[in-house]
Amino acid sequence: SQQGEEDPQALSIQEGENATMNCSYKTSINNLQWYRQNSGRGLVHLILIRSNEREKHSGRLRVTLDTSKKSSSLLITASRAADTASYFCATGTGANSKLTFGKGITLSVRP
Partner 1 sequence: DTEVTQTPKHLVMGMTNKKSLKCEQHMGHRAMYWYKQKAKKPPELMFVYSYEKLSINESVPSRFSPECPNSSLLNLHLHALQPEDSALYLCASSGGLRGTGELFFGEGSRLTVL
Positions in the binding site for partner 1 (CB under 8 A) = 2, 30-31, 33, 35, 40-45, 48, 88, 92-94, 96-99, 101-104
Minimal distance, residue 92 CB to partner 1, in Å: 3
**Cβ distance to partner 1 smaller for residue 25 or 102:** 102
Q: How many CB atoms lie within 10 A of CB 83?
A: 18
Minimal distance, residue 74 CB to partner 1, in Å: 15
DSSP per residue over 18-77, as a string?
Answer: -EEEEEE-SS--SEEEEEEE-TTS-EEEEEEEETT--EEEETTEEEEEETTTTEEEEEE-
Minimal distance, residue 38 CB to partner 1, in Å: 10
**Backbone phi and psi for residue 44, each to the nearest 5 degrees, phi listed first:** -120, 125
Minimal distance, residue 101 CB to partner 1, in Å: 4
**Cβ distance to partner 1 smaller for residue 49 or 109:** 49
**Cβ distance to partner 1 smaller for residue 78 or 95:** 95
